[in-house]
Structure formats: structure tokens, C-alpha cells
Amino acid sequence: MPFARQKWDTNSDVLECASILILFRGKIGIMATFLRPLSYKYQWLYDTISKLAALPVGGEKKFRQLALRHLNINKDTKILDLCCGAGQTTKFLVQYSDNVIGLDISPHAIEKAKKNVTQAKYVVAAAQKIPFADGEFDLVHTSVALHEMTTVELEEVFQEVYRVLKPGGLFTFIDLHKPHNPLFLPGIMTFMWLFETETAWQLLETDLPAKLTATGFTDVEKQLFAGGSLQVIRARKPV
């Protein structure tokens, strides 16, 4: 029989194309466009992008609290907002607790956070070298920042988070993920090409739960949202 016409298996074929694109993108190493520095310079631009990105999960308020749902947080819960930026998520954390500290490597971001969210305390530092003692925090939360780290940095950050958490403390984060729903591919691909660097493309290929388990965390839970383009992970430091 001559060649039968191949059936287009939409999901797997589109995802395969996405994987090839991601690999190709990884090899040629093109940097993000001029929009990336602009988005950090102009907060209105960063905030507009965040609002658009949050639409598939029901808006920014929901997006910022996705990883915090059903957690037992009270006013005394000591929280570290790791890589807090200009306080975009700190703003929500201070509604739960009176004990929130924001950390970011960028003095410019911390200056903005101090103005935007006055209820928190702040420190300029690298997430790979958190300037707090062992076992200080009940909760360390990171919102859309791990995709800015190299693989080695990620491992260092996970070790530092583990160190500063109290036994039984929780590490929660939300970040990018390779979508399983092809409808979300054009959006995330465009966003990545315009705004993200190599590390974000690498994160899409990284098994974060495996890295957390290797660090010593237990009860590692991963949930996907927005067609799989966002991952929320929670992990516990054993008691």
C-alpha cells in the first residue's frame, strides 16, 4: 500500500515541536529582547506583564497566593519572601503575617519594595547566601524568581532555604513550567523569547522535585496550572 496519510496527533506533535524549539533555543543561546531590562526599570511594565500572565489562573490576586492556599499561616509565622523584587508578593504575605522579611539581590528592587510594602522588613542579599541563622523561618516563599538561576545556583539556593527553615518548615514557590496544553504554547513561548534568558529555558527542563528531594526536603508536592505553564511546588524540611 502506498504511504498512508499520517494522522496529526495534536497534543504530542505540538509538544514535540515545543521541545525542539526549547532545545534549539538552548543551543543558540539568544538573549531576551530589550524589553527585559525595560520591564525591570519601569514597574508599570512589569506589573502589566504580571497581570496579563495571571489571567489564566483568575487574576493577579489568585496568582500571587496560589502556592499559599490552605496553609496554616498566622500573624506570628516567620516568612522569608526570597527574591521579593519590588514587593509584588510581599504585599499579600503581610496580610497573613506580621513577621515578613523580603530579600532580593537588587538594591533597586529593595528600594521599591520598601516604598510599596512598608509592613515588611528587607535585606539586600543573594539567595545563595541568605544572611540569617539556621532554623529561622517557618515559611520561605519564592515567586517567579527561580527561573533566573543557573542549575548550580538553584542547588545552592535549595540548600540555603533548607538551612534557614525551622524543622517542619515549608518551602513554597511558583514558577514557569513547560505546558502540556498546546493552547498555552504560543503565549509562553512569546513571553520567554521576549523577556527571559537562558536560565528560564533550562528551568523548563529541570526536575525541581527531584532536586528538592536530593537536598533533603520531604513531602514534595507539585501542582500545575494554566495548561501546565505554571508550577507550584511545596516541600517540607523534616522535623
Ligand X SMILES: C[S@@+](CC[C@H](N)C(=O)[O-])C[C@H]1O[C@@H](n2cnc3c(N)ncnc32)[C@H](O)[C@@H]1O
Q: Which residues contact ligand X (rule: CB under 6 A)? A: 83-85, 88-89, 104-106, 109, 126-128, 143-145, 148
Nearest-approach distance from CB 167 to ligand X, in angstroms: 24
Residue with the closest Cβ to ligand X?
A: 85
Nearest-approach distance from CB 46 to ligand X, in angstroms: 7
Nearest-approach distance from CB 86 to ligand X, in angstroms: 7
Residue 93 Cα to chain centre, angstroms: 16
Is the Cβ–Cβ distance between 137 and 167 less than 8 Å?
no
Residue 143: which residues within 8 A CB-CB, separation 6 or more?
Answer: 64, 67, 81, 83, 84, 85, 88, 89, 173, 174
H helix runs in the chain, sequence order: 10-28, 35-41, 43-54, 60-65, 90-96, 107-116, 151-164, 185-195, 198-203, 208-215
Whichever of 63 and 184 has its CB closer to ligand X, that residue is 63
Nearest-approach distance from CB 53 to ligand X, in angstroms: 10
Nearest-approach distance from CB 148 to ligand X, in angstroms: 4
Nearest-approach distance from CB 119 to ligand X, in angstroms: 16
- Which residue, 148, 119, 146, is CA-closest to 235? 146
Whichever of 181 and 199 has its CB closer to ligand X, that residue is 199
What are 28's three cell numbers? Answer: 543558540
Is the Cβ–Cβ distance between 131 and 123 less than 8 Å?
yes
Say how far apart CA 76 and CA 155 lie, in whole Å: 29
Whichever of 12 and 119 has its CB closer to ligand X, that residue is 119
Q: Residue 143 to residues 12, 26, 81, 120, 224: CA-CA distances in angstroms?
A: 30, 24, 8, 16, 15
Angle between helices 10-28 and 185-195 (to 10 degrees): 10
Whichever of 99 and 143 has its CB closer to ligand X, that residue is 143
Nearest-approach distance from CB 145 to ligand X, in angstroms: 4
Whichever of 15 and 87 has its CB closer to ligand X, that residue is 87
Whichever of 109 and 185 has its CB closer to ligand X, that residue is 109
